[in-house]
Amino acid sequence: MVEPRICVGVVAGAHGVRGLVRVKSFTEEPRDVAAYGTLFDKAGNRQFNLQVTGSAKGVLLAKLDGVATREAAEALRGVEFYVSRDALPQTEEDEFYHSDLIGLRAELADGKPYGTIRALHEFGAGDMIEILLEGGGVSVLPFTRVIVPTVDIAAGKVIVEPPVETDAREDRKDEEIS
């Protein structure tokens, strides 16, 4: 079985003439791109040791072992950096990596398929999961114990209990009719 790997950054280009690369980091804390040990390319053939030296205009400036010239750095443009899933630290209870949850099947409590998790969001009002529904369309649910009582990553599924939704305007419509 192929070991799961996670993309943590990509080379955006070269910086200066001494082989520094500009790295776009995808990690929550940008400098953590170098915190998970050896990085690999997408195919897993090449290894990189990354040292972050600074930041500029939304990207990190970094030094890679064996890259000493601008030409060598420029040649790496577009290379994505991957780490092994096992390199990520353990999560606390009720805390999950997005990468573990995305793609899991969502089922109702009675076992009926509900959809597939497409993304997780946090807009300032708690975490929420976006589910691509079986019959088409999208549902966004709060990521709470009440609505998502079971998360079984090993079995590749979550159990959801979608809440009842009421329209705030339905009472107003009744008033207008009467």
Partner 1 sequence: MARSVWKGPFVDGYLLKKAETVRSSGRNDIIRTWSRRSTVLPQFVGLTFGVYNGQKFIPVLVTENMIGHKFGEFSPTRTFYGHAADKRARRG
Q: Could you identify the residue written with the tokens 């990521």?
A: 143
Total residue count of the chain as it appears in this document: 178
Burial class (CB in 10 A: 0-12, 13-18, 19+), 45: exposed
Nearer to partner 1, 17 or 138 (CB): 138
In the bound complex, what is the minimum distance in angstroms from residue 175's beta carbon to partner 1? Answer: 8
Residue placing its CB nearer to partner 1 in the complex, 67 or 81: 81
Q: How far is the CB of 143 from partner 1 (least distance, A)?
A: 5
Question: Closest approach of Cβ 32 to partner 1, in Å?
Answer: 6
C-beta closer to partner 1: residue 111 or 123 = 123
Residues within the interface to partner 1 (CB under 8 A): 6-9, 26-28, 32, 36, 88, 91, 94-99, 101-102, 119-129, 138-146, 148, 151, 163-169, 171-172
Handedness of CA 67, 68, 71, 74 (dihedral sign): positive
Q: Classify burial at 166, counting beta carbons within 10 Å of its beta carbon; exposed 0-12, middle 13-18, buried 19 or more.
A: exposed
